[in-house]
């Protein structure tokens, strides 16, 4: 198994391959484990690194107030801890995408390329923020299993739900292993995240946007908005996949990433 911890003891991560660093940031309320299919399949094309975001998996909790900016800063600490100075490709799915956008705004000089999967640039509206507060109360009273139960109907696409129930089971296993404290901190970070739309125009590195056609949590229109906003971005829509496109349609997701990596070599 390729499960590791940085020398500073803060970040647990998966690693495979060599060459251009490709840093993959997981969604909520998951962990690095969701990237196992990419860690396995992309090793021949990149140095694949999948860290646990603060509090998730084996990583230490936030040092201060939880935020997507602090998550992005922790990714930089992660790179520094591994001595990675060259610009990296950062890819994130959903919450990982919010962190990727924060990374692009705060640490542009460390970037070589961006992959934004099943995510959106807009912040939570008032209803969204109120729902985060309800979810915080639920996580505190009933744990992370209750959160994943609530999300599950929207997490995988209808085709995956019908034909590959093991994907939902795997997601449930990953989510149920997360502590309520990690889930609550992340919900606060998600609730309070900034509007990333104004920053899209400033992104100057090659950008790949990927979305599952059946994603109902961050539907294709949200990815289209990102792709319109980032100059030269390429949009790949994956038929038959939902919100967790990398696990639902692994081959198509990986092909899109491999093609992107070839283009930026």
Label residue 40 exposed, middle or buried (CB < 10 Å: 0-12, 13-18, 19+).
middle
Asked if 115 touches ligand MLT (CB under 6 A), the answer is no
For the record, the structure tokens of 257 come out as 């990433």
Question: For residues 110 and 168, is the Cβ–Cβ distance under 8 A?
Answer: no
Spell out, one character per residue from 195 to 224, where the chain touches ligand MLT: x when CB under 6 A holds, - when not: ----------------------x-------
Helices 68-81 & 180-191 angle (0-180, nearest 10): 120
Chain positions 85 to 104 lying near ligand MLT, rule: CB under 6 A, are 94-95
Asked if 35 touches ligand MLT (CB under 6 A), the answer is no
Asked if 13 touches ligand MLT (CB under 6 A), the answer is no
Minimum CB separation from ligand MLT for residue 45, in Å?
25
Q: Which is nearer to ligand MLT, 129 or 228 (CB)?
A: 129
Question: For residues 186 and 95, is the Cβ–Cβ distance under 8 A?
Answer: yes
From 28, 56, 78, 260, residue interacting with ligand MLT (rule: CB under 6 A): 28
Of the candidates 156, 149, 200, the one whose C-alpha atom is nearest the C-alpha of residue 176 is 149
Taking only Cα atoms into account, the Rg of the chain, rounded to an integer number of angstroms, comes to: 17
Given the DSSP bridges, would you call strands 111-117 and 207-212 parallel, antiparallel or unpaired? Answer: parallel
Alpha carbon 145 to its chain centroid, in Å, reads 20
Give the total of residues touching ligand MLT (CB under 6 A): 6
For the record, the structure tokens of 13 come out as 């991560």
Asked if 190 touches ligand MLT (CB under 6 A), the answer is yes
Q: Which is nearer to ligand MLT, 122 or 159 (CB)?
A: 122
Minimum CB separation from ligand MLT for residue 9, in Å?
25
Q: Which is nearer to ligand MLT, 16 or 100 (CB)?
A: 100
H-helix or E-strand containing 82? none
SS3 213: coil
Minimum CB separation from ligand MLT for residue 95, in Å?
3
Chain positions 36 to 65 lying near ligand MLT, rule: CB under 6 A, are none
Asked if 34 touches ligand MLT (CB under 6 A), the answer is no
Q: Which is nearer to ligand MLT, 47 or 170 (CB)?
A: 170
Of the candidates 3, 101, 115, the one whose C-alpha atom is nearest the C-alpha of residue 57 is 3
Where along the sequence are the contacts to ligand MLT (CB under 6 A)? 27-28, 94-95, 190, 217
């Amino acid at each position: 198994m390729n499960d590791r911890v940085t020398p500073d003891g803060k970040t647990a991560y998966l690693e495979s391959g060599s060459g251009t660093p490709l840093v993959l940031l997981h969604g909520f309320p998951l962990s690095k484990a969701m990237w196992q299919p990419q860690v396995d399949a992309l090793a021949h094309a990149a140095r694949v690194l999948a860290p646990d975001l603060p509090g998730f998996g084996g990583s230490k909790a936030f040092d201060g107030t939880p935020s997507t900016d602090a998550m992005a800063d922790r990714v930089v600490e992660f790179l520094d801890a591994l001595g990675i100075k060259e610009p990296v490709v950062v890819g994130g799915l959903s919450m990982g995408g919010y962190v990727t956008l924060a990374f692009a705004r705060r640490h542009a000089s460390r970037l070589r390329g961006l992959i934004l999967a099943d995510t959106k640039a807009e912040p939570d509206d008032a209803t969204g923020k109120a729902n985060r507060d309800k979810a915080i109360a639920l996580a505190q009273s009933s744990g992370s299993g209750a959160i994943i139960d609530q999300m599950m109907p929207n997490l995988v696409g209808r085709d995956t739900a019908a034909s590959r129930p093991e994907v939902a089971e795997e997601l449930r296993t990953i989510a149920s292993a997360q502590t309520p404290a990690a889930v609550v901190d992340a919900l606060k970070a998600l609730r309070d995240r900034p509007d990333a739309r104004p920053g899209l125009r400033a992104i100057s590195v090659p950008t790949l946007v990927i979305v599952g056609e059946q994603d109902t949590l961050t539907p294709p229109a949200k990815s289209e908005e990102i792709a319109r906003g980032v100059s030269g971005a390429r949009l790949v829509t994956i038929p038959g996949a939902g919100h967790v496109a990398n696990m639902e349609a692994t081959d198509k997701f990986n092909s899109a990433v491999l093609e992107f990596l070839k283009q930026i070599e």
